Amino acid sequence: MRKKFKVLQIGTQNDTAAFESNNNIYWQFVHIERLIEPFEIIEGLKVFLKKAKAFDFILIEAHKTDELMMVIEDIVTPYNTYVTSTYWPEFESLKLTRQMLIREFSAPNREALIEKIKSIAYVGQYGDKIHTKSIVAHPSFKGQVEYLGNKYVVFDCPKTNEFVPIATWRYNIFYEKDRVLEVWPEFEIDNELDMQLRIRMIPSGTIGMLTEEYVVPLEDLQEPIKFKRLDYEAYLSITVEVKGKGKLLLGALHRRWSRLEFGSFLMGGKRFADDQRNEFIYYLHPGDLKPPLNVYFSGYRTAEGFEGYFMMNMFDAPFLLIADPRLEGGSFYMGSQEYEHAIKEVIEQSLEQLGFNSDDLILSGLSMGSFGALYYGAQLNPAAVIAGKPLVNVGTIADNMKLLRPNDFGTANDVLMSLTGGTSKEHIAALNEKFWKVFSDSDLSQTTFALSYMMHDDYDLLAFDDLLHVLSEKHVKTISRAIPGRHNDDSSTINNWFVHFYNVLLETEFGRIPHDR
């Protein structure tokens, strides 16, 4: 049975009727006058609301009172509570607002308010992409087409004075009902070339029937394109049109469920994109507001969104999730100077927001995520780095596909090409050196490294040995656990040691009681 999105509305206007036909939403209304009743009644209300378990969304449309605060303080969780604009000034500066990230909910009228809630009222997260291999040149296109691995399809466009179609995607984009759809195209374009997207919407179950057509100019593509919630399913057909002369590099087309202004993927989730449209997403959870901040870099993940929420949440400490949605399942958190600087800045700003010191920090990750933890850990001087199945020689990982992993994890070659521009031995060495220059030249003396690794890792066999060599030379405190097998042979044991190392370091470095005691 599908879980319902649970909403609590506190105010004077009951909107239950507007959501009765939606089987995916549970709506609970509490009239504000109930909160001026005797103390015993309010306590009973608190018990009732707590029995309803966690609310995904709490909407407050009432003045701040002691009784109201007494009720919501037991049921508020990060990013689940919103106050309409009329009453927001009374809540904006409260300590609870800062701690639990209570935010303003604005809408020009009642109809818009209800529509906005319907648009974000769903459980879970979803995102995927249409890869470059699905890009098809338009029959009328006369220029040259070149494939750069699975990163880009390059269109060398002859001069034209009007917009002409050059490409489309083999498959239309599915547009679920009751969701705001978000589309983010990856591309690079020459300065002398202009482009636009022509988007046609086709209702599901119809043949050739268009309900709407959109033309999205280049200047409007700096942010993801959002399509309003529909009460029926549909498909989007997208055509790329250009004007001028030059090269257009078309990449993946990302498709996601939107939370509007309230977050990317999750309520409170955020995204960053550099000048080349390379993204990462991040989500800060304040936990119990006590050190440390635990940063978790997602592993290789073909589905887009955040990984590790429930695992990190069980430690009760503040945590920051970071994910890389590029290429097939991530690009090892490396990129332009702007991109890498932004990742460090997000971590540092999260520490500042929590009021923590720079070393009140643990970086962690599994497999591809281990690279992020180790690479940025060497630059941020955290208290600890926890890595499972460490991968550091990314150039070697690509090279190993030839003999050690035929037809397995070919995306490593796309990572190599996209970050270095080629796949030669020189490019392989350069990509490996990118990590080691940072790691070897850093002061690691104040950081503890906890590493669980596969003894016969067919992705990066020497990763642990190479790391241990540098760590030993620098006399860095290191704890480790070796697991027999190849990279993907025993993930459950690696995960158990990952959690165990977290418990050890949270207790020894920060005096926390392990979560399983």
Q: Which residues pair with 164 in a beta bridge?
A: 242
Structure confidence by residue, pLDDT tens digits, 154-204: 999 999 999 999 999 999 999 999 999 999 999 999 999 999 999 999 999
φ/ψ of residue 147, rounded to 5: -100, 125
Query: Is residue 252 within a helix (H) or strand (E), and if so which, with residue range?
Result: strand 234-258
In the predicted structure, residue 47 carries a pLDDT above the cut 80: no
> SS3 sequence, 167-187?
EEECCCEEECCCCEEEEEEEE
Residue 350 has pLDDT above 70, yes or no: yes
Domain boundaries, the chain: 5-120, 127-256, 261-393+447-510
- pLDDT for 154 equals 98
Q: Is it true that 127-256 and 261-393+447-510 share their CATH fold?
A: no
Q: Is the pLDDT of residue 283 over 80?
A: yes
Confidence at residue 53, expressed as pLDDT on a 0 to 100 scale: 62
CATH classification number, 5-120, choose in 3.40.50, 3.40.720, 2.10.220, 1.10.1060:
3.40.50
Confidence of residue 250 (pLDDT cuts 50, 70, 90): very high
Please report the pLDDT score of residue 2 as a whole number: 64
Give residue-wise pLDDT tens across range 94-148: 999 999 999 999 999 999 999 999 999 999 999 999 999 999 999 999 999 999 9
Mean of pLDDT over the chain: 94
| pTM score, whole prediction | 0.95
CA dihedral of residues 47, 53, 58, 62 (deg, nearest 10): -10
The pLDDT, as a whole number, for residue 80 is 96
Q: Please give the Cα distance from 308 to 196 (Å, whole number).
A: 37
Q: Can you identify the CATH homologous superfamily of domain 261-393+447-510?
A: Alpha/Beta hydrolase fold, catalytic domain (3.40.50.1820)
Closest C-alpha among 187, 209, 180 to residue 135:
187
pLDDT in tens, 409-442: 889 999 999 999 999 999 999 999 999 999 999 9
Is 484 in contact with 495 (CB distance < 8 Å)?
Answer: no
pLDDT at 225 over 80: yes
The rounded distance, in Å, linking the Cα atoms of 373 and 320 is: 12
**Which of 44, 47, 94 minimizes the C-alpha distance to 66?**
94
DSSP letters, 349-389, are: HHHHHHT--TTSEEEEEETHHHHHHHHHHHHH--SEEEEES
Give the span between the Cα atoms of 387 and 502, in whole angstroms: 10
Evaluate the CA torsion angle 362, 287, 312, 335 in order and state its sign.
Answer: negative
**Residue 410: what pLDDT?**
84
pLDDT at 516: 60
CATH (residue range 127-256): 2.60.120.200
Among 39-48, 217-226, 268-277, 414-423, the least confident range? 39-48
Select the more confidently predicted residue: 210 or 475.
475
